[in-house]
Amino acid sequence: MKQRFGVLVVVLAVASVTWAAGQAQAPPIQIQNGKVEVRKGTAIDREIASLVPARADEPVWLAWRAPMTAGDRDMCSWYVDQGGSIRGMFVDDPVIVAGNTLVANPRPQITAPAGPIPLEAGTQVVMLARVVDRKVERLRTAGDDCPLDAGGRTVYLLDSVTPAESLRFLGTLATGPAPDKSLVDTERAIALAAVRAIGYHREGSADALLDQIATSHRDTTVRRQAANTMGTHRGAAGVAALSRLIDAAKDVDARRQLVTSLGGSRDASAVTALRELAKDPEAKVRSEAVYYTVIRGGAPAIPEAVRIAGSDPDDAVRRRAVTAIGRLSPDVSTAPLIQLARTSTNAAVRKEAVSLLSTSKDPRAMAFMDELLKRDSLPAARALPA
């Protein structure tokens, strides 16, 4: 079938999931402006060898999917311009032909879905691999509810790939083609995309794979991405793995970066781990830990941050505690910031608190700043001649 005019919409429902009430069809992968060919292959490497000619310059796009981790996982994009807003993503590079010139396409060619809009995002993560000469040169991920503009290309959909096979293949992409050599920029980009894709897999074995990458990968950037992914996507298992890495790390900066990764977790266990790290002997570690204790702990963590702002021996830690309070909503942060600005005996704490209050629109903060301005202007006013 050849596309000539308009948009060809191909919607495929190729997998099923088991819900509590029984069997139900999974949301379809939505490919528009292109063609989809479904294949029953179970091994991604074998399908690449079968579909992609050796020493060929023309790219081939493969897609497969796996159950996705729970949480806020809206893996799609919104495009807003004079034509309105549209939700969707490109499969290939977003370019169009204007005369004899290739220019960036500002938005996908997506037809808005008819019928009711789903209240929840997709339940599966879709991997999209661009393959040239039997090598993956680009990897993208999307939710299975995200409309995809294929740009007139054919996408080969592998509908029998298991989560274990998906993780195995993504693990090879994360490792790179030559495990004994440093990654070049293009290989690093693929490795980073593979690590992010691993993080979205609901399969429990993804935890061990990310732990392995974060611990032993030869590339610092890839290790850091694995740690960040464990924090943002892997829940309590990610918190436990990061806590082990922090305990084992010897370098202070490496420990601080791992604490930042831990701060990305929204699991309740992260706050407990961060509170302990706020007592660490190293100021850099304490600084990050107290900041994310407040960010993730919210208003209940404010008294602890106020105490640290008044007692920590390091000014940088004190300031970081105050900054964290200021990142919370004004209804809970304004009063403790005014208290610190009024009563702290530490100049760095007072300065940080006043700085945060000066940018607030809260009426209490504005009144306090007016009070400061009037107080500071009194000596000058008294010096003026009658």
What is the mean predicted confidence (pLDDT) over 353-364?
Answer: 95
pLDDT at 15: 34
The distance of Cα 347 from the centroid of its chain, to the nearest Å, equals: 36
Amino acid 384: pLDDT: 36
| CA atoms within 13 A of residue 303's CA, in its CB half-sphere | 1
Specify the pLDDT at position 325: 98
- Residue 329, pLDDT above cutoff 60: yes
- Confidence check: pLDDT of 365 > 70: yes
**Which amino acid makes up residue 182?**
S
**pLDDT given for residue 113 in this prediction:** 62
Please check the confidence at residue 214 and state whether its pLDDT lies above 80: yes
- In the prediction, which pLDDT does 152 show? 87
User: Is residue 224's pLDDT more than 60?
Assistant: yes
175 residue type, one letter: T
Instruction: Return the pLDDT at 20.
Output: 30
Phi, psi of 285 (to 5 degrees): -70, -45
- 299: which DSSP letter? G
Residue 156 parent element (H or E): strand 154-158
CA distances from 123 to 16, 66, 136, 191 (A): 11, 9, 25, 24
pLDDT (mean) for 253-269 = 97
Residue 179: pLDDT band (50, 70, 90) is confident
Residue 23 scores a pLDDT above 50:
no
Assign 280 to helix, strand or coil: coil
Domain segments of the chain as ranges: 244-297, 299-374
Question: How far apart are alpha carbons 380 and 384 in whole angstroms?
Answer: 7
Mean pLDDT confidence for 322-347 = 96
Contacts of 135 (CB under 8 A, 6+ apart): 177
pLDDT at 26: 43
Mean pLDDT of 120-141: 90
Average pLDDT (327-342) is 96
| C-alpha distances out from residue 254 to 61, 165, 246, Å | 37, 32, 8
Per-chain mean pLDDT for the chain: 86
Q: What confidence score (pLDDT) does residue 83 get?
A: 66
Q: What is the pLDDT of residues 290-303, one digit of tens each?
A: 999 999 999 999 99
Per-residue pLDDT tens over the stretch 43-94:
999 999 999 988 878 899 999 999 999 876 778 888 776 667 778 888 886 6
Give me 339's structure tokens. Answer: 């208290």
pLDDT winner (highest mean) among 17-26, 105-114, 125-134: 125-134
Q: What is the pLDDT, as a whole number, of residue 373?
A: 86
Question: Of 1.20.58, 1.10.3470, 1.25.10, 1.10.443, which CATH number belongs to 299-374?
Answer: 1.25.10
Confidence class for position 22, pLDDT limits 50, 70, 90: very low
Q: Is the whole model's pTM more than 0.75, yes or no?
A: yes
Please give the pLDDT value at position 85. 78
* Average pLDDT of the residues in 188-205: 97
When pLDDT is cut at 50, 70 and 90, the band that residue 127 belongs to is very high
Alpha helix ranges (H) inside the chain: 44-51, 163-175, 185-200, 205-216, 220-233, 235-248, 252-263, 268-277, 283-297, 302-311, 315-326, 330-343, 347-358, 363-383
With 60 as the cut, is the pLDDT of residue 215 above it? yes
